[in-house]
Amino acid sequence: MGIIGWIIVGLVVGALAKAIMPGDDPGGIIVTCIIGVVGGLLGGWISSAAFGVGTGGFFDIRTWLIALVGSLILLGIYRLVIGRRRTHA
């Protein structure tokens, strides 16, 4: 899948991750989209490296699920880091 496909998947998955983990994120929609794209790439890389599971094409459900898991992990990490920064400031 090309970079444009990953960007589209990341945008959609970023919004889904935000819907699954609602809360106050200081970055807004732009940061959510970036987290989705990076989380999708992270999920694809981890699944390929750790489990030997590759992603299929754009319409393969594995691609979307792996990207969603990566986005949820990255969103959780982002909230931990930003949450600590807010409480210590």
Predicted confidence band of residue 89 (pLDDT cuts 50, 70, 90): low
Is residue 77's pLDDT more than 80? yes
Say how many domains are in the chain. Answer: 1
Cα torsion at 12, 17, 29, 74 (round to 10°)?
-110
Is residue 87's pLDDT more than 70? no
**CA nearest to 40, candidates 63, 56, 58:** 63
Is residue 88's pLDDT more than 60? no
pLDDT of residue 81: 86
More confident residue, 26 or 42: 42
pTM, to two decimals: 0.75
